[in-house]
C-alpha cells in the first residue's frame, strides 16, 4: 500500500507515511556470477574498472559543461531559495513607512482676498506583524520545501548517472562501429581483388562474362557498405562531441589511442529488489515529491481555519501649517483575527486540488517503481543472453573465416564456383559482424544495468543542504 494519509489529532491535514515497495521478493532474471578471470565489483567503482581510461575521462568532460546538469543545478538553487523563504515565514515582519503630503485650501473671505492655506503633513511609522502558526500552515510549507529540495538534489544525481551511461554507451557504439569499419574495409578490399582477378580471366576468355559482372557487383556492394559504415562512425563522433563539449579534432585523437571494445568489471546485484530500488535517485525524488504534495494538503486545510496575527506600530505624525509645527507620537498593539466566513467554496476547492496533486504524485511513484523493476529485469535478461551467446558466436566467426579461406583457395584452383565463394564471404561477414555486435550488446547491457541499479547513489549519503561547488566538482 502506498503512502497513507490519516488525520492527526494535533494538527489539521494528513500525516505523511513513506510508501513501501510492492515488488517480488527476488529478481526473476538470473543475476551475474563472477567468472574465473573477474570478481564482482560495486557500482561506486564501475567506470574506473573499465579497461579503457578514456571512458571515465570523457564522462568527466561531459559533466563539466552539460546543459542538463546545469538545469538540474538551477532547480536545486530554486528549491533552496524556496526553503529559505518558508523559514522566513515563521519570523515577524518589520516594515518602515514614511509619508509626506502637502495640501492647500482656499479660505472664502472677502477681506483676505481668498488667500491660500498650505499644510504639510508627515507620518513615520515602524510596523510589525507576526502570524501565529496555530494550524501548522507555515510548518507544512517548510516541510514541503525541504522535501522538494531533497527531490531536486536526487534528480541532479539521476541526471549525472544518465549522462555517464549515455557517454559510455556512445563510446561503446563508436568502438563497435570502428571494429565493423575495419571488417568492412577488409571485405571491400577482398571483393575488389576478386573482381580484378576475375576481370583478367574474362579478358583472357577463361571465365564467363556473367561471373565478371557478379564480381564487379560484389565489389560495388562492398564499397557502399564501407561508406555507410564510415558515416555511422562519424555520427557517433558527432554525438560524443555534443556530449563532452570537446573539439572534434581533439576528440578523434583521444579515440584513436585504443581500438578494442572497453570491458567493464561485473557488477554486484543485490538479490532483494526493494533494497536495490531504494538506491535509485529517481525513485527517491518521486517519493520526496509525494511527501511535498502531502504537506501541501496540510497548507490548504490550514487556510480554511481562522488566522491570528499580532500587530504593532509606533510612529511620529507631524503637521506644518503657516509656520506652525505640531508633532505627536503614536503607537498601537493588538491581535488581528481573520475568520473565513464565506468564499463560495474556494478554500475547499484548494484542498481538493491539493489532494488531486497528491494522488497524481502517488501514481507517478508507482509508475516509477514498476518501470525501475522492468529496467533491472530487462538489463539482466539481455546481459545473460549476450553472455551465453558470445562463446558460440566466437566459434562461428572463427570457423566461418576458415571456411572462407578454404573456399577462396578452391575458387582460385578452379574447384569451386564464384557463387560458392560469394556465399562463403557472406556467411563469414555476417558471423564477424554478429560477434562484434554481440560483444557490444554485452557491454551495453552492463551499462544499462549500472543505470538501472542507481549508479551507486545512496540516500543516506545525500545531504539536503548540498553545496553547489560540491555538485559541480563531483564525479561518478
pLDDT tens per residue across span 66-97:
899 999 999 999 999 999 998 888 888 888 88
- Residue 415, H or E segment: none
Architecture of domain 6-90+150-186+227-305+346-473: Up-down Bundle (1.20)
pLDDT tens readout for residues 394-418 = 888 898 889 888 888 887 887 877 7
Mean confidence (pLDDT) of the chain: 83
- 277 neighbors 372 (Cβ within 8 angstroms): yes
| Position with higher pLDDT, 118 vs 232 | 232
By mean pLDDT, which of 151-165, 202-216, 239-253 is the weakest? 202-216
Please report, rounded to a whole number, the percentage of residues in the chain having pLDDT higher than 70.
88
pLDDT at 353: 96
Residue 372 confidence (pLDDT) above 50? yes
Which residues of the chain are in CATH 2.20.200 domains?
A: 92-132+307-339
pLDDT at 79: 94
By mean pLDDT, which of 14-28, 232-246, 300-314 is the weakest? 14-28
Which three cell numbers, joined as nine digits, stand for 347?
478554500
pLDDT at 110: 47
457 Rama sector, left if φ>0, alpha if ψ -120 to 50, beta otherwise: beta
pLDDT at 40: 54
Which residues of the chain are in CATH 1.20.1600.10 domains?
A: 6-90+150-186+227-305+346-473
CB atoms within 10 A of CB 439: 22
Q: How confident is the model at residue 363 (pLDDT cuts 50, 70, 90)?
A: very high
Please report, rounded to a whole number, the percentage of residues in the chain having pLDDT higher than 90.
35
| Position with higher pLDDT, 317 vs 64 | 64
pLDDT at 468: 42
Q: How confident is the model at residue 39 (pLDDT cuts 50, 70, 90)?
A: low
CB atoms within 10 A of CB 232: 15
pLDDT at 9: 37
CATH number listed for the domain at residues 92-132+307-339: 2.20.200
| Residue with cell string 568502438 | 175
Amino acid at each position: 500500500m502506498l503512502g497513507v494519509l490519516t488525520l492527526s489529532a494535533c494538527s489539521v491535514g494528513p500525516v505523511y507515511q513513506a510508501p513501501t515497495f510492492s515488488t517480488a521478493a527476488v529478481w526473476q532474471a538470473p543475476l551475474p556470477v563472477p567468472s574465473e578471470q573477474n570478481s564482482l565489483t560495486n557500482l561506486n567503482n564501475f567506470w574506473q574498472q573499465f579497461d579503457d581510461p578514456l571512458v571515465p575521462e570523457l564522462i568527466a568532460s561531459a559533466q563539466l559543461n552539460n546543459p542538463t546538469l546545469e538545469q538540474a543545478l538551477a532547480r536545486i538553487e530554486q528549491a533552496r531559495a524556496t526553503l529559505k523563504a518558508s523559514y522566513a515565514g515563521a519570523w515577524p515582519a518589520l516594515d518602515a513607512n514614511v509619508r509626506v503630503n502637502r495640501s492647500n485650501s482656499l479660505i472664502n473671505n472677502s477681506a483676505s482676498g481668498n488667500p491660500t492655506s498650505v499644510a504639510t503633513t508627515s507620518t513615520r511609522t515602524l510596523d510589525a506583524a507576526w502570524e501565529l502558526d496555530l494550524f501548522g500552515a507555515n510548518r507544512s510549507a517548510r516541510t514541503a520545501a525541504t522535501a522538494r529540495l531533497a527531490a531536486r538534489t536526487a534528480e541532479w544525481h539521476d541526471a549525472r548517472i544518465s549522462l555517464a551511461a549515455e557517454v559510455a554507451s556512445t563510446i561503446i557504439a563508436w568502438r563497435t562501429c570502428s571494429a565493423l569499419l575495419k571488417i568492412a574495409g577488409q571485405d571491400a578490399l577482398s571483393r575488389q581483388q576478386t573482381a580484378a582477378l576475375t576481370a583478367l580471366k574474362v579478358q583472357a576468355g577463361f571465365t564467363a562474362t556473367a561471373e565478371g559482372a557478379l564480381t564487379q557487383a560484389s565489389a560495388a556492394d562492398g564499397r557502399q557498405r564501407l561508406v555507410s559504415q564510415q558515416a555511422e562512425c562519424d555520427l557517433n563522433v558527432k554525438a560524443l562531441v555534443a556530449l563532452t563539449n570537446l573539439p572534434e579534432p581533439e576528440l578523434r585523437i583521444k579515440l584513436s589511442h585504443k581500438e578494442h571494445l572497453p570491458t567493464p568489471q561485473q557488477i554486484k546485484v543485490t538479490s532483494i529488489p526493494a533494497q536495490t530500488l531504494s538506491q535509485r535517485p529517481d525513485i527517491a525524488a518521486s517519493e520526496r515529491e509525494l511527501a511535498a504534495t502531502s504537506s501541501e494538503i496540510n497548507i490548504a486545510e490550514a487556510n480554511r481555519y481562522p488566522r491570528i496575527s499580532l500587530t504593532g506600530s509606533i510612529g511620529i505624525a507631524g503637521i506644518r501649517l503657516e509656520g506652525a509645527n505640531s508633532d505627536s507620537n503614536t503607537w498601537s498593539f493588538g491581535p488581528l483575527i481573520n475568520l473565513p466566513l464565506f468564499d463560495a467554496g474556494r478554500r475547499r476547492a484548494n484542498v481538493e486540488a491539493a489532494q488531486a496533486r497528491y494522488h497524481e504524485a502517488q501514481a507517478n511513484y508507482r509508475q516509477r517503481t514498476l518501470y525501475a523493476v522492468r529496467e533491472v529485469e530487462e538489463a539482466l535478461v539481455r546481459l545473460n543472453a549476450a553472455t551465453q551467446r558470445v562463446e558460440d558466436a566466437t566459434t562461428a566467426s572463427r570457423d566461418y573465416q576458415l571456411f572462407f579461406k578454404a573456399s577462396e583457395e578452391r575458387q582460385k584452383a578452379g574447384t569451386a564456383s564464384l557463387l560458392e565463394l560469394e556465399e562463403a564471404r557472406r556467411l563469414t561477414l555476417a558471423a564477424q559482424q554478429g560477434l562484434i555486435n554481440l560483444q557490444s550488446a554485452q557491454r551495453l547491457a552492463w551499462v544499462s544495468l549500472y543505470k538501472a541499479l542507481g549508479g551507486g547513489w545512496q540516500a543516506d549519503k545525500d545531504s539536503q543542504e548540498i553545496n553547489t561547488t560540491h555538485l559541480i566538482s563531483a564525479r561518478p
